[in-house]
Amino acid sequence: MIHEQTIDIVLPGPVFGHITMYALDEPGVAMDERLAEGRAVMLARFPGAVELDPGQVSAQFRLFGVRWPQPSTSWLYNPAGSTPAMDPKSATEAIALGAAGWDNAGGSGFHFDYLGDTDIPTGCNGDVSSYGPDGVNAVGWGHIVGGYLGYSCYWRGTSLVENTPYFATQEFDIVFEPQFPYSAATLRALALHEFGHSLGLDHTEPALCPGRAMCGGNDALTYSSPRQDDINGVIALYGVAPPPPAVPPGQRPYRVTGPLVARD
Ligand SMILES: [Zn+2]
């Protein structure tokens, strides 16, 4: 049996969040307790958040219930079968820009690291059950049955990421449909959307669309960067990165930028 629970919150700003959490029955586990625990852990990720009644809700990001153990993951690009709509280099750049659109979204510290090209095929194309994970996060091209332009799939483990209610993602693959008249802007937007799935975001509640990068349909071809509601989803998954350590009184802050010149 799958348990689903939702939390609606408002944060200073104001910004609103809607969180859907799933939990699977496990033998010997008191599910009521686990669900309550998951809810408490989730709320703790939003310092200052106030829980809302359903009637007060005004934003609707949704989550798959999975995340990366660290606030980052890497990917390799397979250029085989790239769209004829643009030269392969421009297509690669558009996809890399889409992925980079999630970098440090909302101060989460999350980032996708692009490691270069691969000839390893994308493992799943429309049917995750037919393919096992191969240990490579591959992004590439292939015809998608059913008229979809992009497909993102993930494999996850059976354990939760420590101190979170989310299962740990182990691998993702993304497939783009080559037979579409992309521009650099629409391919970038589609990449932003598909990489959004790969970090753990589901489609936004349809009633709240259009207007978010994680809405289905045309919005998936619209935005070059995430909207506030999409960002709230990233923060729900990864939290906000801790600030740099405080500098003790009397000491100079350590600078990581600027020329290293000794002046005195
Ligand atoms: Zn989608």
Confidence of residue 118 (pLDDT cuts 50, 70, 90): very high
pLDDT tens for 24-60 read: 777 787 878 877 877 777 777 776 666 665 544 545 7
CA–centroid distance, 218 to ligand 1, in Å, is 10
CATH code assigned to 66-199: 3.40.390
Say if residue 256's pLDDT is above 60: no
Instruction: Name the β-bridge partners of 3.
Output: 23
CA–centroid distance, 215 to ligand 1, in Å, is 7
8-state DSSP, 201: B
Q: In degrees rounded to 5, what are phi and psi of residue 247?
A: -90, 125
Distance CA 203, CA 220 (A): 10
CA–centroid distance, 30 to ligand 1, in Å, is 34
Instruction: Say what the pTM is.
Output: 0.71
CA–centroid distance, 136 to ligand 1, in Å, is 21
pLDDT for the residue numbered 198: 95
CA–centroid distance, 216 to ligand 1, in Å, is 5
CA–centroid distance, 254 to ligand 1, in Å, is 42
CA–centroid distance, 36 to ligand 1, in Å, is 29
Q: Which residue has the tokens 């969040």?
A: 17
Distance CA 42, CA 61 (A): 14
Helices in the chain by DSSP H: which ranges?
Answer: 31-44, 88-100, 184-199, 228-238
What is the pLDDT of the chain when averaged over all its residues? 81
Instruction: Name the β-bridge partners of 151.
Output: 175
Is residue 61 within 8 Å of residue 17, measured between CB atoms?
Answer: yes
Q: Which residue has the tokens 């994970």?
A: 133
Domain range list for the chain: 66-199
Top mean-pLDDT range of 32-46, 110-124, 129-143: 110-124
Is residue 78 within 8 Å of residue 178, measured between CB atoms?
Answer: no
Confidence of residue 242 (pLDDT cuts 50, 70, 90): confident
CA–centroid distance, 93 to ligand 1, in Å, is 20
CA–centroid distance, 201 to ligand 1, in Å, is 9
**Cα-based angle 123, 212, 191 (whole degrees, multiple of 5):** 30
